[in-house]
Structure 1
Amino acid sequence: MEVMGWKGRLYWFVELVTMLAVVQLMWIGLTLLGLVVFGIGPATAGIFQVMRKRLQGEDDLKTLLKSYWQTYKKEFIDANKIGVTLLAFGYFLVVNFRIASSIGGMHGLAMMTLLITILVLYVFLVINIFPVFAHYDLPFSRYFSASVLLSLSFPMQAILSFIGLYGLYRVFLFIPGLLPFFGISLTVLFLAWMADRIFNMKGKMDGTLQAEGK
């Protein structure tokens, strides 16, 4: 029988906290299983899939963890393509920022301006690409363009995402003991929730994402 009133709310809260902690530990384990570099992509794809299902009303922890493991195995190659590409491009940006900082004059300023613009687009990409990957079946390259397009099409939601992420950062800075158990899972839940709002508003994104949901 469904628990109502304050007991029901308490049960919901405890169940959510437990789910977040367990899923975070699983993310850490699966990332290590892939030797970090080859594990972080599929582990992140899996946790976004779990949060998507959670937002859709699935609350059975065993079912969610089973889905996580299945997603990790099924999407291992494709998620690694995305993860390794993001890591490689991030490294490229770091190297070029160091080069630009050593160049003086107008050339250095122009290069730094260009790199900052690319960095903003890269942040948009990182925030949205795994939610897009969890929701849609697309050709590999279109995950990148669609992720940037989401932020450009909904700038207010992009700004709110940044504000929310900053708020979480302040919380974890104030209570660092939360990081090992909720740092990733709570952040992903927030980003998945924001992406779900965007997908609902956009519908089929005016024909841009003509694909069946996963």
Structure 2
Amino acid sequence: MSANGWKGKLYWFVEVVTMLAVLQLMWIGLTLLGLVVLGISPATVGLFVVMRKRLQGQDSLRSLTSNYWATYKAEFINSNKIGIILIVIGYFLVLNLRIVLKINGTFGLLMITLMVMISILYAVMVMNIFQVFANYELPLLRYFSASLLLSISYPIQVIGSVMGLYVFYRGFLIIPGLLPFFGISVSILFLTWMSSQIFRLKGESDGSFQVEEVK
């Protein structure tokens, strides 16, 4: 359907809102389907994949939901490998942070500073790793190094992503009723849009990031 003027803009707005709500509900349903722990990683990867397709011009909701389900099934095991590793790393970070907080003196301050820096890198890696997974075929452990490499190489995009997520967070605090319908889908659409320019750069194939886009 095509229309000009305010009718066309209204139709586009309703279409986008509907898409975001449907994909959000699918994310919730697929996460629960995997009993949360085993469902959240493939559900998140699938959402990144369909958001990338949406930004590339695919606007059929039926096609997007079909791709979402297909990606969820295809990447269930591999994405969970990443998710489990992230959970283990996060667990040890929290455990070590609790231990470091009990250390007094200059050494304790240095250890706390080190742990905070590592925690920031971990948070950034979590924010980017599923985007890398959704775009590229890599050996398992390289997803972690690639997500960190992209974050360090493009700090402006990382800072912009964090600031944008904070704005969304404040907005959902003001209107919490929107969170169940748009919280995850809007955030992932924003992150996908922020990273789209990075993944299009030719520098990714110059030897430092030798992969082909296959997903």
TM-score range, shorter chain: over 0.9
CA contact under 8 A between 2:205 and 2:211: conserved in structure 1?
no
The reply to whether residue 88 of structure 1 matches residue 88 of structure 2 is yes
Q: 1:183-198 maps to which residues of 2 (within 5 A)? A: 183-198=183-198
CA contact under 8 A between 1:199 and 1:205: conserved in structure 2?
no
Residue 148 (structure 1) shift: 0.6
The reply to whether residue 131 of structure 1 matches residue 131 of structure 2 is yes
The reply to whether residue 34 of structure 1 matches residue 34 of structure 2 is yes
Residue 200 (structure 1) shift: 2.3
Corresponding residue of 2:105: 105
More deviation, 100-109/124-133: 100-109
Whichever residue aligns with residue 172 of structure 1, its letter is F
Whichever residue aligns with residue 115 of structure 1, its letter is M
The secondary structure found in structure 1 opposite 2:3 is: coil
Runs of 4+ deviating beyond 2 Å: 200-209
Structure 1: gaps (5+ residues): none
Aligned equivalents of 1:63, 1:212: Cα separation in 2: 24
Identical residues among aligned pairs (%) = 64
Whichever residue aligns with residue 20 of structure 1, its letter is L
The reply to whether residue 206 of structure 1 matches residue 182 of structure 2 is no
Q: Deviations over 1:147-176 (max 9, x none)?
A: 011111011111111111111111111111
Corresponding residue of 1:180: 180
Residue 199 (structure 1) shift: 1.5
Whichever residue aligns with residue 37 of structure 1, its letter is V
Residue 205 (structure 1) shift: 5.1
Corresponding residue of 2:161: 161
Aligned equivalents of 1:96, 1:157: Cα separation in 2: 29
Residue 186 (structure 1) shift: 0.4
Aligned equivalents of 1:60, 1:123: Cα separation in 2: 33
Corresponding residue of 1:117: 117
The reply to whether residue 78 of structure 1 matches residue 78 of structure 2 is yes
The secondary structure found in structure 2 opposite 1:59 is: coil
Aligned equivalents of 1:55, 1:102: Cα separation in 2: 48
Residue 107 (structure 1) shift: 2.5
More deviation, 20-29/100-109: 100-109
Structure 2: gaps (5+ residues): none
CA change 1:96–1:161 in 2 (3 A) is same
Aligned equivalents of 1:10, 1:34: Cα separation in 2: 36
TM-score, length-normalised on structure 2?
Answer: 0.95
